[in-house]
Structure formats: C-alpha cells, structure tokens
Chains A and B, each alone.
Chain A
Amino acid sequence: MKKLQRVSPVVFKSTPLKTESRDNWEVVMEYNGEGDGPYLVDLSHRPRFDLQDSNLAAQKPFGILIPETPGDCVLENGILANRMNRTQVSLFNLDADDTVSMPDEPGYTEVTESTLCVALIGKNVFSICEKLTALDFMDQLRKAPFLFQGPFSHVPCQIVTLNKAGDKSGLILTCSRGYGRDMIDSILHAGEEFGLKPAGESRFAKWIKEL
C-alpha cells in the first residue's frame, strides 16, 4: 500500500530545507531564503475544532475557560480558544509538540479540513494588513489576543491577533480552504514591499514561545 499523503491548501514556491512527517502531513519546518521577516507560515495541518453549545459556560474544552465576550481569545497550553458568538468558540491546537484529539462529544466538529490556516508574523504585519482589509487592528481598545471575524482580501476570515507590538507582531488567519491559492497570492503580493517570505513551522514555534 502506498503511503497516504495529506495535502495542505497552502503551497509556497520556496524550496523546503527541512520537513517533518506528522499524521500523514508533510510539514515544512524550514524554507530556503526565509529572510528576516515578516514571515508567512502555513499552519493548515494544525488541528482545529468548532464547538457550539447553547450553554458554553458549562464547557471547558481541554480544560480551558472559554472567554465570555465574543471577540476575546485565550491562549493556554498551546490551545487558542476564540469566542465567536453567544454559542460558538473556535479552538486551534497550535503546539506541535502536544497534538490533541477532538473530544467525543456532539458539540464538537473537526474543521481542520474546512479552512486554511496561516500565521503572519514579524515586523510590518499590520502594514500588510491595511492593504487587504479595513479592519482596525490598531484600535487601542483591542488588547491581544483578540478575534476579528471579517473580510480580508474580500474573503470572510477569522483573524486572531496574538501580538501588536512592533517586530514581535503576529496574527493567525483562517478562511475557507478553497481560497488557499488566491489568499496566499494576495498576502504575498501585498507583503512583497515589506520583504514578506514563506517560512517553516519552526519559525512560528519560536515566535509563539517568545510571546
């Protein structure tokens, strides 16, 4: 039997230098010529779940207390929980060393396959964003981490800003998987003037540890 290979919706033209095989995904840890930021990292292979419940307060997914206000997020034990509305929270499993599996309860749906997921990190991240969306990341009332559900390059996205501070800035963006090709083209095109380059997962792991 041939090996079953999973394919990410995100394809970069850069040459991978180091890869890792994980749950049938071929995860690129490092690319050739990553530059010195900003970076675009594919995280589409990281497990993501949708949890809906009319009484979310009663739920503690992976032991996390879900934020009460829609738009608020919490990053705990490598799990990012984003409160979407009164009854819904999205859960991103960001820690590559601690992959979790979905709780076997009816409120959960695995949505890893539904979306593409990328991290945009490093300097000038928000200068790239303002070319693609009217969402106000720099609103002083919004304290990281926070969730935007809104258009990015005309496509509805979930965007979680994890850090707003200068060179350490960064966000995670998910949108419908089908937009993979055009969304990546669009972000890379907008980021070209700032030196945006595709980077491997190691770059993200390092960045998130320093948060």
Chain B
Amino acid sequence: MALTITCPICGKRNGYEFKFGGEEKGPRPDEKDLTPEAWCDYVHMNKCVAGVQQEWWFHKDGCGSWFPIYRDTTTNLEKPEPGGQK
C-alpha cells in the first residue's frame, strides 16, 4: 500500500499498520431530543468526499492510539490540515 499515515506518537508509518475508523463526525449526540433519524444519521451517514476529508485512524500494530488525519480520497495520500499549519 502506497499510503503512509503520520501517527502523532510514532511518526510516519506504512498504511498497513493502521485501521480505518470512519469520517470525523464529532462526539456522540446528547440523548435529549434525539430522534431515531438523527441518531441513525450520526451512526450511518457519511459525506464520502471526493477530495480531502478528516477521518479517524487507529495505530493497530503500533502504539494503539486513535487520531484524526486529513486524507485526499482521490489520490489516497495524507494531506496537511486545509488552511492549517501541519
């Protein structure tokens, strides 16, 4: 796999070492006024961006931490935070 991912603890590593954890969607919603539809959207709906998106990865074969990165889904390359300093 050409993909490399930069783990905040271990640095840049082979994509093989990581497990995908889905798009960044923010924390679990509060149960107050939560409709089944809103809950279902939170769990199952994805933006599926063709381009740069923020997503979670788990360093399965390494330090075992979860962290978000930005990745261009069209080239499968990690990207710096859009407009950020990374």
| Interface residue ranges, A against B (CB under 8 Å) | 70-71, 84-86, 134, 148-151, 156
Contact = CB atoms under 8 A, between A and B. Distances in A.
B10 A150 contact: yes
A70 B17 contact: no
A70 B16 contact: no
A86 B64 CA distance: 12
Interface size class on chain B is: 10 to 19
State the main secondary structure of chain A at its contact with B: loop
Contacts of B64: 149
B7 to A, nearest CB: 9
B37 interface: no
A70 B10 contact: yes
Contacts of B59: 149
A156 B9 contact: no
Contacts of A150: 10, 13, 17, 61-62
Contacts of A134: 14
B60 A71 contact: no
A36 B78 CA distance: 45
A151 B9 contact: no
Given A71-B9, A149-B10, A150-B10, A85 B16 contact: no
A156 B62 contact: yes
Contacts of A156: 60-62
A149 B63 CA distance: 6
